[in-house]
Amino acid sequence: MDASPKPDLRVYQDPAFAAAYRRALDEAFAQGPDGYARDTTLAMGRWSFDLGQINVPVDLWYGELDTSHSPDNGATLASRIPHARRHVVEGIGGAVLWTEAARILQSLSNATSRP
């Protein structure tokens, strides 16, 4: 949390969020750390497919203040995926998933309802 920007800290330090997040972490690690380790390896390792071959719409969401997930807020990743739409949300960092959940879910819903 020391590296989190102030807007993220407001989210993370909210008592209701902190309690819900703690419950989620407890459940996620209930069977040990293997799942987290595998997810991290898959996300950070070399991917076994060509991003240029993705032929479905892809939305990438980043908080402009996030310095830990992508140094360029996904610009390079978006440039490698045809039809990618990059969303950079002002005034938030890595907490973008929590602050923009409604917009992200609406975007997913709209994408799945397209022919």
DSSP class of residue 62 equals E
Question: Within a 10 A sphere around the Cβ of 89, how many other Cβ atoms?
Answer: 19
Please give the pLDDT value at position 3. 84
Give residue 111's pLDDT band: very low, low, confident or very high (50, 70, 90): confident
C-alpha triplet 85, 86, 90: angle, nearest 5°: 140
Segment (H or E) for 23: helix 15-28
Residue burial 13-46, b: 16+ Cβ < 10 Å; e: rest = eeeeeeeeeeeeeeeeeeeeeeeeeeeeeeeeee
Query: What's the mean pLDDT in 33-57?
Result: 93
Give residue 39's pLDDT band: very low, low, confident or very high (50, 70, 90): very high
**For 83, what's the count of Cα atoms within 13 Å in the CB-facing half-sphere?**
7
Question: Within a 10 A sphere around the Cβ of 76, how many other Cβ atoms?
Answer: 10
In the chain, the largest separation of any two C-alpha atoms, in whole Å, equals 45
Say what percent of the chain tops pLDDT 90.
81
pLDDT tens for 60-75 read 999 999 988 888 999 9
